[in-house]
Amino acid sequence: MTKVIANFEPARLDQALSARGLTAVEFAARVGVTPTTVSRWRNRAQLPSGEQLSKAASELRVSAQWLTRPVSQALAKPYFRGSIAPMKFDRAMLGIRVEWLAEVAGQLEAYVDYPPVNVPRFGFAKASEISDADIETAAQACREAWGLKDGPIADVVLVLENAGVIVAREETGLARIEGLSTWNQDGRPFVLLCADKANGFRSRFDAAHELGHLVLHRNISAPADAATHKLMEHQAHRFAGAFLLPAKSFCAEVSLPVSLQGLLLLKRRWGVSVAAMIMRLVAVGMVGDADYLRLIKLRSAKWGNKQEPKDDELSPEMPRLLRRTAELLFANGVLSQAALPEVIGISLADLESLMGFDWGVLTRPAADVVTLPVPMPASWPLQTRSIASEPSFVARRAAGTSLRLVEESVMSRKDIHVVTHDGDWAVRREGAERASSVHGTKAEAMERARDLGRRDHVEVVEHGRNGQIQGSNSYGNDPNPPKDRKP
C-alpha cells in the first residue's frame, strides 16, 4: 500500500503555483498526474505519496518539507501600485512573493533583532476622509520622526529599513505593477519594489509611494473597486511628492518662470524626475493649469513620455537589511549558505532575489581558486575602502547564539552650497547656520566648494545672487557620475 504524506499542506501548493505562474493543468503534466488529482490535493480530498511530493517539490523549486509546513501568519491584503482591472493573476503572484518575503524575514528574526518599527500612525478609517492637508502633515511627520529635516533624502530605501520596514527589490516580469506594500499581524511593514524598470529616480518615487500607503492607509482595507483604488493611488502619489520634495525648501530652489531646463538642474540633487517635480509644483499651487499643460506638452515633445535626460545618472537604491542579516549569520557560523534553502524552504534563486544579493552570489557554483603570487612594486599606492560611508545596520552579540542588528543613524546628505554673503560669496554646508568660508569672488568660492565636494563625495550647488540655483556638480559615489554642468 502506498504511503501518503499526512501533514501535506494544500495552502503551500496554492502558494507555489501562484508564485511560479503555473496552472493546475500545467503542473499536473509536469508531475505526471491528472489535473483532477491536483484539484483533490488542493482541497485535501486526496494526499500525495512521498514520491509525488518529491516530484512536486522539484517542479515548484521548494523543499519537500516546505510543502508540509503550516503557512505563516497572514498578511493584510497588499496595496498594489498600478491599474486594478486587468491583472488579477499577476497580483496573486506578487502577493505570494511578498508573503514569502515576510516568511523569510520572520525566520531570520529568530537569530536577529531588526530595527524597531518607527512609522508614524494616523487614524484614517476611510480614504475619502483624507485631505490634501492631512497628506502634507503625514509626510512632514515622517521626516521629523526620522530626523530628515527639509533637504534631499540621500537613500529612501535605507530610510525605510532604518524605520523597521522590510524591503525587497526584484525583477518580476510584470512592468505594469511597480510595487506593493502590506503589514503583518505583529505590526511590521513590508514593501516589494518591482525592478523591471531600472530607473533610480522612478524607484525612489515608488518606495516613497508605498510608504504613503503604509502611513495613510494602515487602517483601510485594500480596495476592490476601481474608484477607491484610484483615490488611494492619488493619495500615495501626493504623499510621495510631499515626502521627497518638502514644499518650502523645494519651491525655494525652483527658478521662475518654471522651465524644463530649470527642473532638470534640480533632478539629480533631489533624486526626483522632472515629471514628478511638475506634479509637485501643481500640488502646492506654484504651477497653474495653463503652465502645467505647457510643461507636460513640451516635455512630451522633447523627451517622450517614458524617459527623461539624466535617467541613467542614478542607480536604483538597493535594500540591505536581509542581505546583511544573512551575511552576519554566515560570518558568525550561525547558519551556513548551503543550509539556507533547507531552513527557509524555497530555492536559492528565490532567496537571492528576495534578500537583495547580486545575481549569482548564492546560486553560482563555487569555483576552484588558485592564488598566484603577483609582485607588487613598492611604489604602488594601497587602496582602502571606508565602510563608514555606508550607514545602515551593524551587528552586536546578544545573549546565547542570537545576534542583534543595531540601527545606525541615517543623515541627509550634507551637500555644499555657494551663496551670497554680505556682498561676498560663501561656501556653506546644507543645514549649517554659519558659512565654512567666505570669498571675495564667486570663482574662488566655487573652487573651494569643488575641493570639498571631491573630498567628501557630495554635491556642490551653485546659487545666483537672487538665491536661485544656477547649476550643480555631483561628486558622490555614483557608478555613473554626471559630468560637471558648469566649467
Q: Is the pLDDT of residue 383 over 90?
A: no
Spatial CB neighbours of 88, under 8 Å, sequence gap ≥ 6: none
Q: Please give the pLDDT value at position 83.
A: 54
The whole-angstrom separation of Cα 427 and Cα 437 is 5
Listed range (211-215, 270-274, 346-350, 483-487) with the worst mean pLDDT? 483-487
The whole-angstrom separation of Cα 28 and Cα 24 is 6
Strands (E), 41-136: 79-81
The whole-angstrom separation of Cα 246 and Cα 149 is 9
Q: Residue 382: which pLDDT band, with cuts at 50, 70 and 90?
A: very low
Q: Please give the pLDDT value at position 367.
A: 54
Spatial CB neighbours of 419, under 8 Å, sequence gap ≥ 6: 425, 426, 428, 463, 467
Spatial CB neighbours of 340, under 8 Å, sequence gap ≥ 6: 326, 348, 351, 362
| Residue listed under C-alpha cell 561656501 | 427
Q: Please give the pLDDT value at position 379.
A: 38
| Residue listed under C-alpha cell 497588499 | 78
The whole-angstrom separation of Cα 47 and Cα 481 is 58
Q: Residue 480: which pLDDT band, with cuts at 50, 70 and 90?
A: very low
The whole-angstrom separation of Cα 55 and Cα 32 is 9
The whole-angstrom separation of Cα 361 and Cα 348 is 10
Select the highest-mean-pLDDT range: 32-46, 357-371, 420-434.
32-46
Give the burial class of 378: count Cβ atoms within 10 A of its Cβ; 0-12 exposed, 13-18 middle, 19 or more buried.
exposed
Select the highest-mean-pLDDT range: 109-113, 136-140, 170-174.
136-140
- Beta bridge pairs of residue 190: 166, 182
The whole-angstrom separation of Cα 172 and Cα 363 is 18
Distances (CA, A) of 122 to 165, 212, 279, 329: 17, 12, 25, 36
423 DSSP 8-state letter: T
Mean pLDDT within 370-384? 42
Contact 181, 189 (CB under 8 A): yes
The whole-angstrom separation of Cα 177 and Cα 97 is 13
Spatial CB neighbours of 182, under 8 Å, sequence gap ≥ 6: 75, 76, 77, 78, 79, 98, 102, 189, 190
Q: Is the pLDDT of residue 82 over 50?
A: yes
Q: How many helices (H) and strands (E) does the chain have?
A: 17, 11
- Beta bridge pairs of residue 461: 417, 472
Contact 449, 416 (CB under 8 A): yes
- Beta bridge pairs of residue 426: 419, 438
Nearest to 124 by CA among 134, 113, 109: 134
- The residue with greater pLDDT, 85 or 132, is 132
Task: Please state, rounded to an integer, the average pLDDT across all residues of the chain.
Answer: 84
At 50-75, the pLDDT tens digits run: 999 999 999 999 999 999 999 877 78
Q: Is the pLDDT of residue 408 over 50?
A: no
Q: Is the pLDDT of residue 406 over 60?
A: no
Domains defined for the chain, CATH in brackets: 1-71 (1.10.260.40), 105-313 (no CATH), 416-474 (no CATH)
